[in-house]
Amino acid sequence: MDLVVDEMDLRILRVLQADATQSLDTLSEQVALSRNACWRRIRRMEEGGIIRERVAHLDAARLGLGLSVLVMIRVGTHDPAWLTRFQSVVAAMPEIQGAHRMTGDLDYVLRVRVADVADYDRFYKALIGRVDMADISASFVMEDIKDTTALPI
């Protein structure tokens, strides 16, 4: 059975999306709910899978990973063995931040974070050496106009 999320839960989630590091007391004040009731709702949403994890968002450029790349992939085969291999390769490459199976002309799009073009070239060679693809192309992100993990709730 799916967890029912009400308006109070959404208020809590909006605040947590903006800053999950604040104390429970501060959070409960912001949503006008007692500390214990707020805590119970958060635990229920964690146990129900609504809140999957609490993470720190890092500045990629300051950590030497200033190049964001969208990698577009077309495959030559769609058999289960290839998909299992592809999923394994994707999971093993930490540069890949997101992997998405697509409809339309593309089969997959990867979101990749690397230091620079030379680092992307190293990544590219490692990827094509591990899994067969019919076509692969990349676009380098010139500017992040909007880049968020916050859901529109």
Q: State whether residue 98 is helix, strand or coil.
A: strand
Domain count of the fold of the chain: 2
Per-residue pLDDT reduced to its tens digit, 64-83: 999 999 999 999 988 999 99
Mean pLDDT of the chain: 96
Query: Is 130 found in the same domain as 70?
Result: yes
Instruction: State whether 69 and 121 are in the same domain.
Output: yes
Provide the 10 A C-beta neighbour count for residue 16: 18
Q: Per the domain annotation, does 54 fall within a domain?
A: no
Other beta carbons within 10 angstroms of residue 124's beta carbon come to 16
Per the structure, the complete domain to which residue 26 belongs is given by 7-47
Asked if 138 and 71 touch (Cβ cutoff 8 Å), the reply is yes
Q: CA neighbours within 13 Å on the CB side: how many for 38?
A: 19
Using DSSP, state whether 116 is helix, strand or coil: coil
Contact (CB, 8 A) for 133 and 73 = yes
CATH of the domain at 12: 1.10.10.10
% of the chain beyond a pLDDT of 70: 99
Closest C-alpha to 22, from 49, 42, 47, 37: 42
The pLDDT-based confidence of 1 (bands split at 50, 70, 90) is low
**13's tokens:** 């989630």
The mean pLDDT of 86-92, rounded to a whole number, is: 98
Question: Are the CB atoms for 55 and 123 separated by under 8 Å?
Answer: no
Residues 26 and 97 in one domain: no
**Do 83 and 37 fall within a single domain?**
no
pLDDT digits (tens, 9 = 90+) for 11-64: 999 999 999 999 999 999 999 999 999 999 999 999 999 999 999 999 999 999
Query: Residue 68 pairs with which residues in a beta bridge?
Result: 113
Predicted confidence band at 102 (pLDDT cuts at 50, 70, 90)? very high
